[in-house]
Structure 1
């Protein structure tokens, strides 16, 4: 079927903390002044990308997953396993936590919990995130919340462009104002808010908090996950390994010139953060521009890249059916 990259149309989500930075960075035509999320590669029921090219043009990634599993090496599962987003935190996000698969299935009747990771694309000077907390016990955690002692409870970390954070389910977290990230996550939209700074929406209403569920799923005490970034010159490009864990593997590719032939391990999710490149497959050339998001399907055995650009590349680590 496909011997070319599957190009996807970005899908935008309005958020109380969003802005217009994604238009400045990638030239996207934003539907409002409060766009917080670009769902870049998604097969989720709450938003799936339209396919722009090839035999399935005009259909969606969700439909492709359901009807053409050969594009994804016969990987099993009712739902597309991963979701790639770009987030523009014009204001700080709520302090939140996500459940694991077991809790999501038992309490929310959903297939996936939410483990995620962040590559920081851009951060204003002095920008911070919330990553973890200082409570040693559930009792202390609950008491700090009830007393509104957020500065004592929450753990703040300074961030800059190029930083990477692995955020397993159960991790208390929040992206701070002035930060843009690319997020790779499980295909889940379950979020439990712990604290939202007493903000109100356009109707003057405070957003719902989920304190009991948050306490049930939060890791107490917090432990920083162990990650190791490694760099190598491979296939004619700088290739940085960011994470490989139960659900996904993520890398940063830095292309300058022409790469050697890259063997496709299964299917790959790619987002071009900077530059312009050409993907070459089977003698055909496919241009990719800054801000494009695409999939190299399993029907492509190998490909090369040419040009100058930075990409975040991920793939699912779920089991394959072998079909």
Structure 2
């Protein structure tokens, strides 16, 4: 039987990390007893971590099954032509109790060649940050391969990295090839290409419970660096209420910011699915004869075939994502 697609809420895929904490549990009500919960994967088709629907008639179905059964009705026609049965995005919430490793990701060409994977261009929206919390994005000076390798060898890499203090609402666009790290005390939403390929270049000399350092990838990472990038990674955006405010638009995804305090009518004319990440408050999504709700720290995917719906709330902030 071919089900009719409806808005899809998925069971979070929870990831313990050496640097994780408890904010995803305390602030977003994720179900875990872990003291080191680092990530909640909200929408994923990464092999081994495929999202399962937890709402409506399609409950229990995997996102991969739905892609294969519904094709362009789910993705949109142009996206289906481009990606086939591969979902192009991985959607996460991340809690860094400790600093993440300094890292970067390969672009599509390098990732395809080495890992048969998409590359990883991503963006961050800061949902909460402790006092003095920061992110590392890019370099604080003009840097080339030789300069970088000298600092890496001398264990002085942090001297040439750009540290930004952050607060709620700060937004960063991290293109493949740009060095970066999430700092301790930062809780954020992450939108990225479907890829789990990370090149770790420095991990603060950290060891696990058994005294082992995590693997570094400096031998292959050097080819992934793009040292000539502009310092255009921090995103300025408007916050006009009850409309979609552009944040990031790139070949891999578009993200808008919506701050709502009433009911608004939405029309999907994008030939794409829409993903809503609730980053504050809660909102009802009304389609045909059903209502779905998402609260802060939850995500909803609206298939491309659903063209008309309403967003209704007394107060919410959303990230609206499509390809």
TM above 0.5, one fold? yes
How many pairs align? 313
In the alignment, does 2:180 pair up with 1:156?
no
Matched with 1:212 is 219
| Stretches of structure 2 lacking an aligned partner (at least 5 in a row) | none
Q: CA deviation at 1:223?
A: 2.5
In the alignment, does 2:245 pair up with 1:240?
yes
- SS of the residue corresponding to residue 238 of structure 2 reads strand
- SS of the residue corresponding to residue 126 of structure 2 reads strand
- SS of the residue corresponding to residue 231 of structure 1 reads coil
Choose the corresponding residue for 1:48, options 36, 39, 50: 50
Q: CA deviation at 1:229?
A: 3.8
- SS of the residue corresponding to residue 216 of structure 1 reads coil
Q: Aligned in 2, Cα 1:24/1:150: closer, same or farther, shift over 3 Å?
A: same
* Paired residues of 1:44 and 1:79 also in contact (CA < 8 A): no
In the alignment, does 2:78 pair up with 1:67?
no
Matched with 2:275 is 269
1:205-229: per-residue Cα shift (whole Å, max 9, x none)? 1000001211111112443236764
In the alignment, does 2:292 pair up with 1:286?
yes
Matched with 2:122 is 116
Matched with 1:295 is 301
Q: What pairs up with 1:21-170 in 2 under 5 angstroms?
A: 21-69=23-71, 70-74=73-77, 75-76=80-81, 77=83, 78-110=85-117, 112-133=118-139, 134=141, 136-170=143-177
| Stretches of structure 1 lacking an aligned partner (at least 5 in a row) | 317-323
Q: Which has the larger displacement, 99-108 or 287-296?
A: 287-296
TM-score under structure 1 normalisation?
0.91
Q: CA deviation at 1:19?
A: 0.6
TM-score under structure 2 normalisation?
0.91
Q: Aligned in 2, Cα 1:17/1:226: closer, same or farther, shift over 3 Å?
A: closer
- SS of the residue corresponding to residue 246 of structure 2 reads strand
Q: CA deviation at 1:6?
A: 0.9
Q: Aligned in 2, Cα 1:3/1:46: closer, same or farther, shift over 3 Å?
A: closer
* Paired residues of 2:135 and 2:164 also in contact (CA < 8 A): yes
Q: CA deviation at 1:22?
A: 0.7
